[in-house]
Amino acid sequence: MNWESLAFIRRQPLTCISERVRQATRKIRYHQRCQGAPGTMISFRDLAEVFQELEHTSSSSSLIAILAAFLLRLNPEEAKAVAPPFASREFGMAERMVIGAVAQAYATPLQQVDKLAARLGDAGTVAEKLARNNRKPLVAIASVFAQLREITDISGKGSQELKRRTLAQLLAKASGIEAKYILRTVLGSHRIGVGEMIFLRALTKAFAPGAADRNSAEDAYNVLSDLGEVARRMARSGAGGVKRIAPVPGTPVRMMLASRVQALDGVMQHMRGKMFVEYKYDGERVQIHRDPKGDIRLFSRRLERITHQYPEIVDAIKKCELSRQTIIEGEIVAFDTEAKRLLPFQTLMQRRRRHDVEAYVKKAPTALFLFDILLCKGRNLLGAPLTERRKVLQACIKTSRIVHLSQYTMSSDLAGIERYFHQAIADGAEGVVIKL
C-alpha cells in the first residue's frame, strides 16, 4: 500500500553541505585578484570563461565558490541577465536550426558544418572552431541575453527563419568561446554541472553569507519563481532584498511536493500529533490566481499556463465569487457531475490540448477540489498554519457542482488513518496525503 506524507513547508530547506572553506575562499580571492573589481562592466566573454571553468570543476563547494565570486562582480541587472542558463530556459530552437545559423554566421557550407558537428558532437564546439579568428568580445552580458530573449519572443509566420537569421547575426559578432556558450545556452546543453540549486547557493554565498540567511535565496525563489529576479534583488540589497516577499497574482508560486512512503509506519518517522489526512485526487495539480483586475489564470505544477485548457473551471471560479488578489490551490479531476463520481486520470488526459477545447469540455467533464490558499485579498498566508489556511479557504470560496473543497479528516490514530485511506481508494481517489 502506498502512502504519501507532506510536511507544512513550501519546499524542504536546502541540505546544508559541508563546504571546504579554505578552498572556496582561495577561489574567491583568485577571481577578485585576476578578473577586476566589482562594478566594472562585464562582457559575455567573462561569463563564457566562467562557464568553461565550471565545466572542468566537479566539487559542489568549488562550483559555488567560482560562481559566487563572479556574481560579486555584477551589477543587479547583470546578475538578473546571467540567470537563464541556470534555470533551463528554452529558446525554442532545435539543433538543426542552430546548425543552419552557424553555417550562415561563418559563411560555411551546411554540409561542412554537418560533418564538423558529427565529428565534434556539439554545435557549440563547432561554432568555437569556425569563429576562432573573431577576437572581438561582445560589449556586455545584458545585451547578449537581451538578443536571446528577442529570439525567444519571435513567433508567427516565418518565425523559424527569422530566429535562425537573428542567431546568425549574434554569432557573427562573437569570439570563439562566446559563440560556444551562446549556442549551449540556446540549446540548453551546458555541461557546467550548475542547476537552480547550485545557483541559489552561490547567490547566498555572495550576497547573504550569514547563517541566519542561508535559505533566503531559495525561499524567495519558491515565491517569485524567477531566478533572475531573485539574483537582481540580492545583488542590489543582499538578504534584505528578498525578505518578506509575498505572492503576487499572475506570478506562480512553486508548489509543495509530497514524499511517498510505502507503509503507514513510515509517516510516524516524519510527523507527530494530530494530522490532516486528505484525499489524494488523481488529476492535474493547479494553482489559481485572481489578480486586482479580476482576471483569472491557471498554472500547472510545472508553473505552465493552462487557463485555456479548462474554460469551465474559469467560469465556475467566477461564479464562486473568488475575491481579487487571491491565490488558491487544488486538483482538477475528471468528474461525472451527475453521478458525483471521480473518473480515471486517463479521461482527464484528453483535456491536454490547444484545439477543440470546447468539444472536450463535454467529452471529458471536470471538477475542481481545492485544498489550500496562499493569498487572500492581498493577505499573505504562506507563513500561516494549515489549520488557519483551511478556515480562510472555506470562508473565501462558495462551492458548486464543479468547485469543491477536498475531503479530509484530522487524526493521530494509525488505525483510523488506515481506514480513511481505504475509504479514499473506494471513492476513486489515488490515496491520501498527510499534512501537518
Active-site positions?
280
* Side-chain half-sphere exposure of 245, counting CA atoms within 13 A: 25
Cell 536550426 sits on residue: 97
CB atoms within 10 A of CB 425: 15
143 contact partners, CB below 8 Å, separation of at least 6: none
- Please give the Cα distance from 148 to 24 (Å, whole number): 32
- Please give the Cα distance from 147 to 144 (Å, whole number): 5
- DSSP, res 72: T
Among 436, 424, 427, which residue's Cα sits nearest to residue 3? 424
- Please give the Cα distance from 308 to 355 (Å, whole number): 10
- Please give the Cα distance from 303 to 251 (Å, whole number): 9
CA torsion angle 128 133 137 142 (round to 10): -40
* 3-state class (DSSP) for residue 270: coil
* 3-state class (DSSP) for residue 428: coil
